[in-house]
Structure 1
Amino acid sequence: MDSLNPAPADPLLGLMLAARADERPGKTDLGVGIYKTEAGDTPVLRAVKEAERRLLETETTKAYEGPHGNPLFCEAIGELTLGGLGDRHTAFTTPGGCGALFIGMQAAKLASPDARLFLSDPSWPNHEGIAAALGIETVFYPYVGDRTGAPDMDLVLKGLEGARAGDILLLQGACHNPTGTDFSAEQWVRLAEEVEKRGLLPFVDTAYQGFARGLEEDGANVKAFLERIPEAILTYSCSKNFGLYRERTGALIIQAPGAKAKDAVATQTAALVRASYSMPPSHGAAIVATILNDAELRRSWEEELGQMRGRLNGLREGFASALVRATNDDSLSRIAEEKGMFSQLPIEAEDTLVLQREKGIYMPGSGRVNIAGLKEDRLGELAADLASYLVR
């Protein structure tokens, strides 16, 4: 072990710890992506509490569930994302969305050892981190092309010109992290055409379903996309929409070109699971399965999810208006049209450190902000503090 050097600090986790240690009452933590109420709390959803109560009363064993995990959970996530699992799909319960990403990328590399990962610029940093840990080269493709912040499909396709058959194309479902802007239905069709033309393996990361427009609306484009292509990998996180951050609850769904190929994929992926965490945790998956298979609990969950979505959209509108007033820059009104937990402000990395030191405003150097970290009654004050640092 003497030959090892310390690993670089994770900037987001370091930011979280710095914000926690700051005792200034007016500090603003816009860093790590976690949903918060106006009071700054991350609540346990009512449906989750009730599901846990029922599980406590009815659970009879703590035995392993096997490498695939909870079948009711896998079927429920398959219904949410695909309209149901078919004979070309194999599904696994995983330790969070990150566990799904890690095993999914391992499976992709097993199928195509020289595959590279094509990743949007920008993207969630751990996408690249997981690929690096697995020895997968990352190639970035441009995502947005102008100050509207909308995805530019011509730029995206130009960035994929060097992609080879077997390369992995990572796409995000609704609520792109960090930009908050998503592909349109028409752009998803063009992506499907590109995937088929080049023989790419699409890898769809779904972490915020229900946070943009609604469960069905947020999943529609991905569902239609997957119906058009022969094979794909989909990962799912229950951290945000079920509030199960610390329960590490996720799913991995692999779509094979046929039933025979699916059997090979299922056994090979199960072997990867066995060699890493062996069996997935059960509690979070049991909570989700209980909620999604009970009409009363599902109604309660969808109601709470709608309230979270409404709060985020309201904060976006207020923040965008406050920024436009403070800067006289109408281009920042785009923030109101974005979706999900994140937006990316046009700011230099060194200026985020100045804001942290002088104003107690915490955000990563990329300028990504967690919309849920905003306080409704302080939007004007925050916009005024940010105004002179935003690049226009």
Structure 2
Amino acid sequence: MSSKFESRSRMFRTGVAGLAVAAGTAGLTGLSGPAHAVASTLYVENVPGHLAGGQYHSLLISDLAQDGVNEVYATGDNGYGQLGNNTSGGQSTTLVKVHSLSGVKNVSAGGAHSVAVKADGTVWAWGLNDKGQLGNGTTVDSKVPVKVPGIANAVAAVAGESSVLVILSNGTAKSWGQLNASCAASTTPVTVAGLTGIATKVGAAAVGWRHAVVALADGTAKAWGDNNSGQLGTGNTTGSCSPVTVAGLTGVTQVSAKGSHTLARISTGTAKAWGSNHGGQVGIGTTNPTTVLSPTTVPGLTGVASVSAGYVHSMAVTDSGSTPALKVWSWGSGAFGQLGTGSTSISTSPVAAAGTNITGTILEAGYYHVLTTNASQIPEAWGMGGSGQLGTGDENQRNTRTDILSPEPLR
């Protein structure tokens, strides 16, 4: 084991015993090892799904400790318990620990709810539940994670505005909440009919405002739901209550959506975009047309390693072999500083976000903010901060990358 990992693991344990008491419970459940005190420096593994940006809140998974234990943290709006720390109402401008949740391999943040997939394949959700987005058969909100019944083979989960879509290890999917594949709401998981062969990895599914998209293992993509802005990529604006093939796409390795547009990363290192373009979020150099009905290559980007869609903006990271290497690119609305360029201007073409010291290709766009990590695996954020979703200790907007504050060590 490397000395760097050992050093980080020692820092992870920095603090005082008594986490269970400090967390407000006599004994944490769901932990795969002994409780840990919060680190004085928080590291985040450079793994897709370890950062998540919702509408007004954010989630992250801590670095993995030597015994396999990790922790989930949240910051931002908590009006419906979406921070998962056994409270509801108000907000937090710094990271708080999600109650009784460890062994987590990916997280996702929606409109006002959160979801996590554990290493054992179970799915846990918390927060707003008015449309059944917690999947537990009720419409009662929860301020702590609750187990979604009937799922033990989940690979990845993604939260939409009021729904959840989960990829299963057999290449199928289940959904619940306001948007499922039959255009009807459901408070329990429903199999997406007629959909098989989904790529079984984080990034192979995305949910926008009222549509969903998945990448298949054969490199094609399917989508369903609302299509008023062409976000299904079928060449028209006809919605579909069952999965339809996205036109002309091959080599798809990742998909992303938040609002009414969709992004795809192609195996050749290019990015495709389609759907609503009123803020320039498709990246074609203009806002005319305001809707792009079929996948279109985003000009000027090569060596794309990952993409992430915000509500009216888009992000990409180029890989270590590109020029410049490991660079964050953004386009669309910058009204809240979410492009990371230091300004609040709209850009209809990709522009480089300020700073170059990123690590890997982990990037997650929230609705109006963005999360990533720096070269030391310390999480960073920028964009809208009015609900504390940046985790910077205040409610200020940030127009360039800013370190997320580590949680205070427990005393």
TM exceeding 0.5? no
Q: Normalising by structure 2, what TM-score?
A: 0.27
Q: Normalising by structure 1, what TM-score?
A: 0.28
* Structure with the bigger percentage of strand: 2
* Structure with the bigger percentage of helix: 1
